[in-house]
């Protein structure tokens, strides 16, 4: 017989799984509340974009292919030499745009 103070491995696993599921649910609830809290700021930004006539999101300020990824040409990252190393730090975060399929 086992002593009553020890927990079986399966019980510990189920307890841990239940705790992790509660935390997962809490993260979804926090995300939903964040959307509600951020709705006013998002509306204000959308109004500013409309008022200023901005066309695209500016992600970085360095290389032209990282400023507006949807507007960059395919070879802008390799404008100096085809095998040249990218000298902008954001080039490691955002690769050159992928070739788009023709419509």
Q: Are residues 17 and 42 in the same domain?
A: yes
- How far is residue 48's CA from residue 40's CA, in Å, rounded to a whole number? 12
Task: Name the percent of the chain lying above pLDDT 90.
Answer: 30
> Quick check: 63 and 91 in contact, CB under 8 A?
yes
The count of domains in the chain is: 2
* 50 and 68 fall within a common domain: no
The answer on 72 and 36 residing in a single domain is: no
Is the pTM value of this prediction over 0.85? no
Residues 71 and 101 in one domain: yes
67 shares its domain with 44: no
The whole-angstrom separation of Cα 14 and Cα 10 is: 6
Confidence at residue 85, expressed as pLDDT on a 0 to 100 scale: 66
Query: What pLDDT sits at residue 1?
Result: 47
Same domain for 59 and 103?
yes
Identify the segments of the chain with pLDDT beneath 70. 1-4, 56-61, 63-82, 84-92, 94-103
| Residue range(s) defining the domain that contains residue 32 | 7-54
Clarify whether residues 25 and 42 are in a common domain: yes
Same domain, 32 and 62: no
Whether 60 and 74 share a structural domain: yes
């Amino acid at each position: 017989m086992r002593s009553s103070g020890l927990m079986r491995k399966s019980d510990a696993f189920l307890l841990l799984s239940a705790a992790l599921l509660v935390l997962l649910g809490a993260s979804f609830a926090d995300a939903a509340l964040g959307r509600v809290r951020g709705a006013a700021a998002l509306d204000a930004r959308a109004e500013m974009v409309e008022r200023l006539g901005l066309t695209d999101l500016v992600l970085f300020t360095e290389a032209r292919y990282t400023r507006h990824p949807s507007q960059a040409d395919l070879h802008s990252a390799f404008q100096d030499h085809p095998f040249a190393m990218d000298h902008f730090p954001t080039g490691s975060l955002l690769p050159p745009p992928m070739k788009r399929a023709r419509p």
